[in-house]
């Protein structure tokens, strides 16, 4: 058995069920191993950003790492933008990056580059000196590391950069999986201090991020809110929050700094659970980076790397909230919109047609605006753009559909962001994934228009305007989609949009709707 | 005047005429500056790999750096694969990467990451601590650095990572351009040693890379070859070589290591001019990395960073070759092919229809196979995939067309490679660039099939086969092209292919041909 096969068998034994691949010559022995270990599913993508974004979507839905298979430095580089988003989401992922053997590096062949420097941008665990002897063991360690919580992260990205000689050389065989790391629990005295704050009678907001925003955690937080009167809130772009009818009613932090500060205007205590002190997404000359009003104290119940659910359980007990009834979202009969493609009608159409138990993946654009409207709709899981690197939504939707074949995935994408990684449609067609993609096609980088205005620039000159304008030429999203094998249609009225959403959501396989407005 | 405007004015004053942009919020002051300095042309792309690849194509044709405008770490990451290719090509480029202000970094906002580690993969010059005071001066230095030859490189990539506060803060104004660096000349005794080798009567091959493969250098090399009987050869994937009727007849190094060794079988002396000792592209178990036959000596006339043209001038004088007649390529009347879309017919069609003074950009796939056939065709410049990171061809074609609006660009692309950065078509449509794109659509990563066979694997299993197969679903390249605003058609016979090539090459603006075989 060679190193490649021992590695793939080890990862499969650890529990890795999916490999998102875009291989090249230096990964041929790994391809051979994937052929020999069919229990790990191999899914091909035309571009590495699709592999890494799909691994993120898969990991957010399963809590388990998928593997990626990437071709040396450039292959990894193409995947970094979505690995950045995955890192911010705390998603476990294992990158397998093929490399030249060590003996070949010195010849500076065309594909030679320093891969470690690239990997250090987003990885918590990197190994690039494996031999055929150690490769399987290193794979087992990569798996464990991806599930190890470390300061600032609850899951993480392992990157195993392996020389072709480690893959083709003789191996002593697969390695036995390691025990899984457990998350550290907070001290009860810490929970007691927070309980004290909550009993103060002063205005409190509990900010729930990462695992603290997962369904079980929200249940506890909802009880505590009901009992103590504190507000509960997720971050602006949480990795995953389950919402909709019957789910816990939780606020979402606004995007712009002035709105965040307004939301905290009377607040005396911010209580962090699994997250950080609120900060501005971008820096501005006129607003602070740290978004805590004067006179407001910041407390930490649990750091990102600690066990948020256990911390909330402790706090529920200490506040006597265990039997309280959390406030839940109610289904709103919003009716089907009719008439023009106004933003309001479009969002209502998405919400009204959302299938039970759907997974919603958003990116830039109006996807975020759909979130509040969908809280009165069917129960669902909501995956946001965590790291601000647009081009995440379609790959994440692809990975979520691979993880949950029984759930419909609805990808709500801006046209600017969707253009980065549109090759994901091809993988959706190839694997016949149940994804409804909505492209909100306003033909501009609208956020830049808005941000430009926020600088105080009142007259946009012709060059600046052209740099925000992606309508010249206009992208025909239905043709683009069909070219990759995904059937598609345009919606130019709300009525058409509703019909297309209903049909797409009810039909197995992928479909794309170009929402023209 | 703010830092951003002082920077852009400085770069324009240095001679930067083109900025390939994909900006975000943190680059809004730079956008404003581009609006204020219209003599620097701003061209938008939908994906950063298009910006960086186009900057490479532009730099190969002009010898001057274009600027890119990229959005923090993820924006830069999306451009790295083509920056890798540009580094291997020795192309000067100036990346402008927006970043948070230093005071904002500590808040770990979503788009925060360590950008320097990414930049260090491909940059020879990095600055990330500019203030509004220093930004213009740092821009001038970035320009000079991009044209400075350093060991292993003749042009290079400068990356200026600038905090938004350096852009928005008050500047003392534009900076005066630095003097340009000159390339170091070889010592005459070195040329004399090589002249001695050439007079030995033993079989010699002169390997010409980077500037040594430029037209003026090839003229000298051709004379030396005619006088001394030595063979002259470029590398396998040169950044730019001008060929076709009337140009110097120069061999090209083969791709596979066994073919390179066979080509050097009787050779006693390899003479490097602007390049490295021949090495295998990938490492294999059965062939060496260093491709020099036993008993063959390797000599260096000029290192990459030295002045290759001057070295060849010296050598021509020392060998008395100045008046010799170099062997030139003859135009071959190859006729127009007819009948089926065989590889032979397709390559003949490309060669027979090649416009005078065309620029050919290749990537993976049959583009390389077209090279020898085109040597009997019209004179042209040929741009190869220098760093092995596929997805270069279409962006490089875009940049070459921006650099040379009076020349037709013909992009010969494999379908696998073209899928990585297909968004370049949109920029071609937007700027109405004169690019004819040929997609050789064989619906597979064919090189992987070949490499798999070279491993000795005779039976390809179903999973491996599926990972080489991009025909399920089949990509409709004409629809894809039209969706981005580039008219397109399919060719299913050689006659159709010829007609489409003739029409596309004679019509201003871009056109795409899907060559089905």
Provide the shortest C-alpha distance from residue B43 to chain A (in Å). Answer: 8
Facing residue for A451 by CB, picked from B25, B113, B472: B25
B452 pLDDT band, cuts 50/70/90, is: confident
Specify the DSSP class assigned to residue B508.
Answer: S
In chain B, the residue whose alpha carbon lies closest to the alpha carbon of A287 is B104
Q: How far apart are CA B16 and CA B9, in angstroms?
A: 9
CB contacts, 8 Å: B32 with chain A: 452, 455, 457, 461, 464
Average pLDDT over all residues of chain B: 96
In chain B, the residue whose alpha carbon lies closest to the alpha carbon of A478 is B483
The pLDDT, as a whole number, for residue B424 is 98
Average pLDDT value for residue range B253-269: 97
Counts for chain B of helices (H) and strands (E), in that order: 21, 18
The full set of domains in chain A, from first to last, is 3-168 (3.40.50.970), 188-318 (3.40.50.1220), 343-516 (3.40.50.970)
Residue range B314-342, pLDDT digits in tens: 999 999 999 999 999 999 998 999 999 99
- A/B interface, count of CB pairs below 8 Å: 305
A141 C-beta neighbours (distance < 10 Å), count: 18
341-360 in A: which are within 8 Å (CB) of B?
none
18-37 in B: which are within 8 Å (CB) of A?
21, 23-26, 28-29, 31-32, 34-36
Lowest mean pLDDT among A96-100, A332-336, B494-498: A332-336
The pLDDT, as a whole number, for residue A181 is 87
Which residues are CB-neighbours of A458 under 8 A, at least 6 positions away? none
Average pLDDT value for residue range B177-202: 95
The pLDDT, as a whole number, for residue A449 is 87
Q: Which strands, in side-by-side order, build the sheet including B435-441?
A: B241-243, B380-383, B358-362, B409-414, B435-441, B511-516, B488-491
In chain B, the residue whose alpha carbon lies closest to the alpha carbon of A447 is B25
Average pLDDT over all residues of chain A: 96
Q: What is the DSSP string of B403-458?
A: H-TTS-EEEEEEHHHHTTSTTHHHHHHHTT--EEEEEEE-SB-HHHHHHHHHTT--
The pLDDT, as a whole number, for residue A153 is 78
62-81 in A: which are within 8 Å (CB) of B?
72-75, 77-78, 80-81
Average pLDDT value for residue range A355-364: 97
The pLDDT, as a whole number, for residue B245 is 97
Residue range B110-141, pLDDT digits in tens: 999 999 999 999 999 999 999 999 999 999 99
The pLDDT, as a whole number, for residue B456 is 76
Q: How far apart are CA A424 and CA A430, in angstroms?
A: 10
- Using a 10 angstrom Cβ sphere, with 0-12 exposed, 13-18 middle and 19 or more buried, the burial of residue B210 is buried
Any CB–CB contact under 8 A between A482 and chain B? yes
CB contacts, 8 Å: B28 with chain A: 448, 451-452, 455
In chain A, the residue whose alpha carbon lies closest to the alpha carbon of B122 is A113
In chain A, the residue whose alpha carbon lies closest to the alpha carbon of B450 is A25
- Asked whether the beta carbons of residue A283 and residue B164 sit closer than 8 angstroms, the reply is yes
Average pLDDT value for residue range A254-263: 97
Reading the block at residue A449, the tokens are 């228009």
A457 pLDDT band, cuts 50/70/90, is: confident
Residue range A377-404, pLDDT digits in tens: 999 999 999 999 999 999 999 999 999 9
Residue range A269-312, pLDDT digits in tens: 999 999 999 999 999 999 999 999 999 999 999 999 999 999 99
B449 pLDDT band, cuts 50/70/90, is: confident
Residue range A132-184, pLDDT digits in tens: 999 999 999 999 999 998 887 778 999 999 999 999 999 999 999 999 988 99
The pLDDT, as a whole number, for residue B455 is 80
The pLDDT, as a whole number, for residue A208 is 98
The pLDDT, as a whole number, for residue A452 is 87
- Asked whether the beta carbons of residue A80 and residue B77 sit closer than 8 angstroms, the reply is yes
The residue among B481, B505, B478 whose CA lies nearest residue B349 is B505
In chain B, the residue whose alpha carbon lies closest to the alpha carbon of A40 is B463
CB contacts, 8 Å: A100 with chain B: 282-283
Provide the shortest C-alpha distance from residue A6 to chain B (in Å). Answer: 17
- Asked whether the beta carbons of residue B74 and residue A113 sit closer than 8 angstroms, the reply is no
Residue range B20-51, pLDDT digits in tens: 999 999 999 999 999 999 999 999 999 999 99
B89 pLDDT band, cuts 50/70/90, is: very high
CB contacts, 8 Å: A455 with chain B: 28-29, 32
pLDDT exceeds cutoff 90 at B151: no
pLDDT exceeds cutoff 80 at A458: no
Provide the shortest C-alpha distance from residue A184 to chain B (in Å). Answer: 23
In chain A, the residue whose alpha carbon lies closest to the alpha carbon of B73 is A81
Facing residue for A28 by CB, picked from B103, B152, B452: B452
| C-alpha B455: how far from chain center | 30
- Asked whether the beta carbons of residue B430 and residue A472 sit closer than 8 angstroms, the reply is yes
Residue range A32-81, pLDDT digits in tens: 999 999 999 999 999 999 999 999 999 999 999 999 999 999 999 999 99
Is cis: bond before B31, omega within 30 of 0?
A: no
pLDDT exceeds cutoff 80 at B459: no
CA B327-B332-B334 angle, 5° bins? 155
Q: How far apart are CA A254 and CA A251, in angstroms?
A: 9
Average pLDDT value for residue range B66-85: 98
A454 pLDDT band, cuts 50/70/90, is: confident
Specify the DSSP class assigned to residue B322.
Answer: T
Any CB–CB contact under 8 A between A292 and chain B? no
| ipTM value | 0.97
Any CB–CB contact under 8 A between B509 and chain A? no
407-436 in A: which are within 8 Å (CB) of B?
416, 419-420, 422-423, 426, 429-430
Average pLDDT value for residue range B382-394: 97
185-214 in A: which are within 8 Å (CB) of B?
none
The pLDDT, as a whole number, for residue B306 is 95
pLDDT exceeds cutoff 90 at A470: yes
- Asked whether the beta carbons of residue B80 and residue A100 sit closer than 8 angstroms, the reply is no
CB contacts, 8 Å: B29 with chain A: 455
């Amino acid at each position: 058995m060679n190193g490649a096969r021992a590695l793939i068998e080890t990862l499969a034994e650890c529990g890795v069920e999916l490999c998102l691949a875009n291989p090249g010559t230096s990964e041929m022995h790994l391809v051979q191993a994937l052929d020999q270990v069919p229990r790990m599913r191999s899914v091909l993508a035309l571009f590495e950003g699709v592999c890494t974004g799909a691994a993120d979507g898969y990991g957010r839905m399963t809590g388990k790492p998928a593997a990626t298979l990437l071709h040396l430095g450039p292959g990894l580089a193409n995947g970094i933008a979505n690995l950045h988003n995955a890192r911010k989401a705390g998603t476990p992922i294992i990158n397998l990056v093929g490399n030249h053997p060590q003996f070949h590096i010195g010849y500076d062949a065309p594909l030679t580059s320093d891969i470690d420097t690239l990997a250090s941008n987003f990885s918590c665990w990197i190994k690039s000196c494996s031999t055929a002897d150690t490769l399987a063991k290193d794979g087992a360690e990569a798996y464990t590391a991806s599930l190890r919580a470390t300061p600032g992260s609850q899951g993480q990205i392992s990157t195993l950069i392996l020389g072709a000689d480690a893959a083709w050389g003789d191996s002593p065989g697969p390695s036995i999986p390691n025990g899984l790391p457990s998350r550290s629990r907070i001290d009860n005295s810490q929970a007691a201090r927070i309980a004290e704050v909550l009993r103060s009678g002063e205005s409190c907001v509990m900010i729930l991020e990462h695992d603290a925003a997962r369904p079980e955690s929200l249940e506890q937080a909802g009880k505590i809110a009901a009992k103590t009167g504190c507000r509960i809130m997720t971050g602006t772009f949480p990795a995953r929050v389950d919402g909709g009818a019957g789910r816990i009613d939780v606020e979402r932090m606004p995007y712009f700094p002035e709105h965040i500060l307004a939301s905290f205007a009377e607040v005396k205590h911010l209580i962090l659970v699994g997250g950080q002190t609120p900060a501005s997404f971008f820096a501005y000359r006129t607003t602070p980076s740290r978004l805590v009003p004067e006179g407001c104290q910041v407390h930490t119940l649990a750091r990102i790397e600690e066990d948020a659910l256990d911390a909330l359980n402790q706090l529920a007990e200490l506040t006597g909230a265990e039997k309280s009834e959390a406030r839940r979202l109610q289904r709103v009969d919003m009716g089907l919109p009719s008439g023009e493609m106004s933003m309001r009608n479009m969002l209502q159409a998405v919400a009204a047609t959302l299938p039970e138990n759907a997974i919603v993946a958003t990116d830039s654009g109006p996807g975020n605006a759909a979130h509040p409207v969908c809280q009165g709709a069917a129960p669902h899981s909501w995956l946001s753009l965590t790291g601000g690197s647009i081009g995440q939504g379609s790959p994440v939707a692809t990975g979520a559909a691979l993880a949950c074949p029984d759930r419909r995935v609805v990808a709500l994408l801006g046209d600017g962001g969707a253009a980065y990684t549109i090759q994901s449609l091809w993988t959706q067609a190839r694997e016949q994934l149940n994804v409804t993609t909505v492209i909100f096609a306003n033909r501009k980088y609208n956020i830049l228009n808005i941000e430009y205005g926020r600088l105080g620039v009142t007259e946009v000159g012709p060059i600046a305007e052209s740099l925000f304008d992606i309508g010249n030429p206009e992208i025909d999203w239905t043709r683009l989609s069909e070219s990759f094998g995904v059937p598609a249609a345009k919606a130019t009225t709300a009525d058409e949009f509703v019909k297309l959403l209903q049909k797409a959501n009810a039909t197995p396989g992928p479909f794309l709707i170009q929402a023209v407005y």
